[in-house]
Every structure is written in C-alpha cells, then in structure tokens.
Amino acid sequence: MRFSFITCTYNRDKYIAQTLESVCKQTFSPLDYEVIVVDNNSTDSTAGICEEFRQKYSDRQFRYFKEINQGLSFALNRGIKEARGEYIIFVDDDETIIAQHLERLDNYLKNYPDAELVASPVIPVYEEAQPKWMSHYTQRLIGGYFDQGNQPKKLEAKNYPGTGHTIIKRELYEKYGYYNTELGRKGNSLIGAEDKDMFSRLKKNNIDCYYFPDIPIYHHIPAQKLTDEFFQKLTYSIGKSERIRTLSVSKKEYQRRLMNESIKWVASLVLCFGYTVTLSPQKGIRLLQFRWNVTKGLLGK
C-alpha cells in the first residue's frame, strides 16, 4: 500500500466529519491508500461519526481504533503501528485537504524518490475575523500558518513542520523511534513539542525535509483559539513543553535552550519596536506577552 492517512482525535465532533470527507474523497485509487482514525477517549459523538463514514465509504480502507492511553503521542504511535502504507500522512482533526492531495503527492514522490520527510503549506481558515494583535508570528502560533514558496525544495533545518501537515516514510519510525509520550497534548492540556522532538532526531540523522507547495492543508480555527485566555495558556505551555523536551535530552540541552531564549527576547523587543513605530502596537505587545509566557514556562515558574 502506498499511503496511510492518520487522524488522531479527541472530542472534535464539530470538525472531524469535514476532515474525513476530505481524506475519503481523494482522486487517487482507493486500493492504494487507507484512512486510520485513532480516537483518544473522546466523550462526544466522534465514534458514531466515524462509523457513519465507514459505512458511507465502504469501498475505502477505513479503520477506527480507540487508544485508551491518554495523550496525543500515544495516539500517534498507535496509528503508526497500525498503518500499512509506505508513507504516513498526518491530517489533524480540524484540518481538510483537497481531492487531488494524494495524486499530486504521488507525482512529487516519483520525481523526488529520496524524499522521506515532506511538509506542505498550511492555510488557516478563521471562523471569526482575526484580532488586531494577529501578526505573521502569532499567525504561525495560532493557525499553524506555513508557506515556503511556490517551488518544491529542501527546507532549512530551522523550518521544521508541525505533525499535522507532514508526510513521513513509515520506516523512519522503526529506525529512529516513535513520539515521546511525555510530550504532546493530553486531554485539555496544551503541552506540545512532540513534533519538534521527533524532527530534531531526524535532523541529527541527516534526514532532509522536502517542501511540496501545491498540496495545501486547510486548518480551521475556532473563535475560542483567538481569545486571550487561550493565548496565555498556549504560550505558557510552549515554554513548559520546551523545558520537558530539552531536559529529556540533557541538562546541557536545556541550558542551550535558555541561552537561545535570551536571543529570542532581543528579537521580540526589536519586532515590538518596529510594530510600534508602524502604528501596530497591539502586535508588538502580543509578541512580548508571548515571549514572557514562554520564558515562565521554560523556567518552570
């Protein structure tokens, strides 16, 4: 089998139907791909929706699993171990893709046979108008915005993708390990960095990440993610995640991350000044709040 779609979900019945509709309606041969849903103990109607899709698309290879160990990394690892495809395609439960996604991806992989790790564009779709504090930097944070141009290419090491718009050759997990279950969201917790941890391992083993431009992912952003409460919780959790991730490597790695944080503070202050003089102070203030919360989380405060 060529491809395995994996969608991990937790209480997203509002969005998962459109996600599954988009992955099931591919123009690619149904014999050459499968759709795997890993339900991480949802208490809403997710299971029923998945059963409806299994029946509706009976000609597709649609499989549903319940992962009882709470946490995104547990769910990701379960999906990978159940997958039968040569390549794994992660699509989050609040994302959609175009019908030609697999067809275009397959053509790219034929032209770039050494591609084992692939990223694609992420286009945020907001339910409400973006707030005045939204900038290029916070849009990546909130909406996952990712755009590296209109040409296929190898990405620089600093431009690692998120799991939700990644294609990975399945055998890489067998070589370099699975997702760290100490990281990743658990229930309503916003701890993350499971993707950064994984891609750091792949970089250390000289695995290049390719970027293929015309297989976009549409990330649907609810109004709740634009609130101040969510922003404060998310940005603190980013710092806390980085503390867990780097200390799991070594104390030296954690100290290196602290040094890097001081550099990020300088950059944030420069950007804040730039936004202020261009009459967009809300954007600058938000960046400083972002940096402050990340630093607190990183220090364990």
pLDDT tens, residue by residue, 140-190: 999 999 999 999 999 988 787 877 789 999 999 999 999 999 999 998 889
Average pLDDT of span 69-75: 97
Q: Is the pLDDT of residue 198 over 90?
A: yes
pLDDT tens column, 214-233: 999 999 999 999 999 999 99
pTM attached to this predicted model: 0.94
Tokens of 301: 């405060």
Q: Provide mean pLDDT across the span 29-54.
A: 97
Q: In the predicted model, is pLDDT for residue 296 greater than 90?
A: yes
Secondary structure string (H, E, C) spanning the chain? CCEEEEEEECCCCCCHHHHHHHHHCCCCCHHHEEEEEEECCCCCCHHHHHHHHHHHCCCCEEEEEECCCCCHHHHHHHHHHHCCCCEEEECCCCEEECCCHHHHHHHHHHHCCCCCEEECCEEEEECCCCCCCCCHHHHHHHHCCECCCCCCEECCCCCCCCHHHEEEECHHHHHHCCCCCCCCCCCCCCCCCHHHHHHHHHHHCCCCEEECCCCCEEEEECHHHHCHHHHHHHHHHHHHHHHHHHHHHCHHHHHHHHHHHHHHHHHHHHHHHHHHHCCCHHHHHHHHHHHHHHHHHHHCC
Mean pLDDT across 244-255: 96
Residue 161: what pLDDT?
Answer: 81
Residue 187 is predicted with a pLDDT of 85
Q: What is the mean pLDDT of residues 44-69?
A: 96
- Residue 301 reports pLDDT greater than 80: no
pLDDT, tens digit (0-9, with 9 covering 90-100), for 97-107? 999 999 999 99
